[in-house]
Amino acid sequence: MDALVIGGGPAGLAAAEVLAGAGRRVLLAEAKPSVGRKLLMAGKSGLNLTKQEEGFGAAYGTDWLAPMLEAFGPAEVRAWAEGLGQESFVGSTGRVFPKAMKASPLLRAWLGRLNAVELRTRWRWRGWEGNAALFDTPGGAERIEAGVTVLALGGASWARLGSDGAWAEVLAGEGVELAPFRPANMGFEVAWSAHMASHFGSPVKGVRLSAGAAESRGEFVVSARGLEGGGIYEVSAAMREGAPLVLDLLPEMSVEDAAARLAKGGKESVGNRLRKRLGLSPVARALVMEFGRPLPEGAALAALIKALPVAHGGPRPLDEAISVAGGVTRAAVDDGLMLKARPGVFVAGEMLDWEAPTGGYLLTGCFATGRWAGQHALRYLNQDVG
């Protein structure tokens, strides 16, 4: 076997595509009964492939992925998808989606292109014995030796889809430097008062969220468990690190204007003034009551609405996070994503210690690092042949 790819998510499939496209014999091993399970889950909300914007790479908060994103960034992702027969379009916020608005047609076309790859499902990787990779399979233990190996086993969230982080113990035992896993793009716990129950499931729109230097104008949802949704995810890293969450419920209105409108309410109840004078939605008014009591009057109330502090109980559990921070550190791999502790073994996707918000960045990062690892694994093989 020329190449062994372990993990059948976007990063693993991307690495296998590069290696098989160069005529190499590739075996792809996946622990679950089928590949691309997290990709299909992402497709349920439209499959946000990438984002068309200036300074795309800045969203990753680190420059070590820069050459990979330059080699396979938004333009390349769109061209690749179109090469699979999946036309794409750019939404109003720059996000790029396939016109089919789901993942299954793209995944089927991709697997059709990879028909030369030998696929093994229900093969769970257990580590190495010498140069051989060890697997538990339905037919018993298997040992596979290959010229190169690409590990693309995902992060440590959504274990039911295959990303359980179990590989971390194996790599730590090999002397690979790892950063602790932390949830990313996750919701936050809130112990709601009883009056909030009628608002569970309600979207909060047209507000500004800030946490430290991070800001978002995305919407979020009030759920029975707390706060979740795109707006929260965009500031979740800062919140996780301890920055307080503050909501501006009237981002297009000044404090002075809000105070003047409230003053016109006379003897109306606070609730009526928030509704009639400021146009706050029922869920926005409920958030003011939840986090602003005891409510001040006049200009102080207007200032509160423009900077409402939100108390929360911290991130939801790691396994519920859309993605994770932590994993194989930059110091543990060379410029080609090969493990320094184990030559010939490359790492890609969410196993690596990088973090990005939702909005097309996650999939693009997996595609880019998977292809990069595949290309450098191929180069390693070719040098061995030479």
**Is the predicted pLDDT of residue 296 greater than 80, yes or no?**
yes
What is the predicted pLDDT for the residue at 384?
Answer: 63
What is the band of 385 on the pLDDT scale with cuts at 50, 70, 90? low
**Is the predicted pLDDT of residue 15 greater than 50, yes or no?**
yes
**Span 3-183+321-385: which CATH code?**
3.50.50.60
Taking all residues of the chain, what is their mean pLDDT, rounded to a whole number? 95
**Is the predicted pLDDT of residue 46 greater than 90, yes or no?**
no
Interaxial angle between packed helices 361-385 and 74-83, expressed in degrees from 0 to 180 and rounded to the nearest 10: 80
Give yes or no for a contact between 368 and 65, defined as CB atoms under 8 angstroms apart.
yes
Average pLDDT for 80-106: 95
**Is the predicted pLDDT of residue 23 greater than 80, yes or no?**
yes
What's the angle, vertex CA 370, arms to CA 126 and CA 27, rounded to 5? 50
C-alpha 255/C-alpha 301 separation (Å) is 9
What is the predicted pLDDT for the residue at 267?
Answer: 79
Average pLDDT for 315-332: 96
**Is the predicted pLDDT of residue 386 greater than 50, yes or no?**
no
Residues sharing a CB contact under 8 Å with residue 235, sequence separation 6 or more, in sequence order:
209, 210, 211, 214, 215, 216, 243, 245
**Is the predicted pLDDT of residue 266 greater than 80, yes or no?**
no
Average pLDDT for 163-181: 97
Average pLDDT for 356-377: 96
Sequence ranges of the domains in the chain:
3-183+321-385, 188-310
Average pLDDT for 306-315: 97
Phi, psi (deg, nearest 5) at residue 273 = -65, -40
Closest Cα partner for 310 from 377, 220, 384?
A: 220
Percent of residues, the chain, with pLDDT higher than 70: 99
